[in-house]
Amino acid sequence: MVLLDASADADLIVVGAPRRHGHFGVQLGRVAHALLHHSQCPVAVIPQ
């Protein structure tokens, strides 16, 4: 995955996640989930 490879040289990766209607929090997609678990740098997940 390109973003995981880029995380080796990055200081921070920022990804968006849609808000869940009727619930608190956000719904993570596959990309955000993979980055949170496998990134080599911090990841910021921003609600869209």
**pLDDT tens per residue, range 7-30:** 999 999 999 988 777 777 778 889
Q: Domain tally for the chain?
A: 1
Which range of residues forms the domain containing residue 6? 2-47
**Model pLDDT, residue 28:** 86
pTM of structure: 0.79
**pLDDT tens per residue, range 24-47:** 777 888 989 999 999 999 999 998
Q: Please name every residue paired with 17 in a beta bridge, in sequence order, or none if there are none.
A: 47
d(CA 32, CA 8): 16
